[in-house]
Amino acid sequence: MSEFEGVHGVYDLILHNYGPDIQIGSLHINVYDTMSAHEIHGLTRKITMQMIERHNIVMTVGVYAIATGENRRAELQTKVMQMLAAHPEIVQVHGFYYSEEDNMFSVDVVPDISVHDEAAFVGQLTAELQLLVPDKQVVIVVDHNYSE
């Protein structure tokens, strides 16, 4: 996906095999929040067409927006990503979303295999992040790496 201008990360790849000739999948890409819906639509269309042509995979492409500029969203995204990156048991962080309107933010984390109590893990991260924004709802989405 890195060959596509505007893609700044690929996450959550899932493939389903329905026999020798049929594969269906999904993935998420990171794009800057400055891209228009028209540009994103074109980009996802190019990705899906390439997946069919090169690999015969019918692919659905979801989008995560990377906050840019000097604003509360970009500032909070940087702080959250840095705080979570300091955890050695976290393999990957992505999918940051902040909604002032809904008074919440969410972020996806991929824990390593040392995390056995997912509820405690989420509780710890939520409490830590809540210190950054005591007035906002914090939602941690745990993704799993099934490739290991």
Question: Is residue 99 located within the same domain as residue 77?
Answer: yes
Per-residue DSSP letters for 17-74? E-STT-EEEEEEEEEETTS-HHHHHHHHHHHHHHHHHHH-EEEEEEEEEEP-SSSHHH
Q: Is residue 16 part of a domain?
A: yes
Give the three-class secondary structure for 119. Answer: helix
- For residues 37 and 96, membership in a common domain is answered with no
In this structure, the answer to whether residues 55 and 115 fall within a common structural domain is no
Does residue 131 share a domain with residue 83?
yes
Higher pLDDT, 148 or 23: 23
134 occurs within a structural domain: yes
Per-residue pLDDT, 146: 64
Q: Which residue has the higher pLDDT, 50 or 21?
A: 50
CATH number of the domain bearing residue 123: 3.30.70.1350
> In this structure, what is the dihedral angle of CA atoms 34, 81, 138, 129, given to the nearest 10 degrees?
-140
Q: What is the pLDDT of residue 20?
A: 83
Is the dihedral angle over the CA atoms 143, 14, 105, 88 positive or is it negative?
A: positive
Alpha-carbon distance 65 to 97, whole Å?
8
Q: What is the mean pLDDT of residues 38-67?
A: 95
- Are 20 and 48 within one domain? yes
28 and 87 part of one domain: no
> Quick one: what percent of the chain has pLDDT higher than 90?
85
Q: Domain of 104?
A: 72-142
Residues 81 and 124 in one domain: yes
Average pLDDT of the chain to the nearest whole number: 92
- Give the helix ranges, DSSP H, for 64-117: 72-85
Contacts of 2 (CB under 8 A, 6+ apart): 10
Q: Across residues 31-40, what is the average pLDDT?
A: 96
Residues 77 and 134 grouped into a single domain: yes
pLDDT for residue 1 is more than 60 = no
Region 6-33: mean pLDDT is 92
Q: What is the pLDDT of residue 2?
A: 60
Instruction: Specify whether 96 is located in the same domain as 135.
Output: yes
113 and 79 in one domain?
Answer: yes
Q: Are residues 94 and 114 in the same domain?
A: yes
**10-17 and 23-32 beta bridge pairing:** antiparallel
2 belongs to a structural domain: no
Confidence of residue 21 (pLDDT cuts 50, 70, 90): confident
The last residue of one of the domains, among 65, 80, 110, is 65
pLDDT class for 49, splitting at 50, 70, 90? Answer: very high
Question: What is the DSSP-derived secondary structure letter of residue 5?
Answer: T
User: What pTM does this model have?
Assistant: 0.85
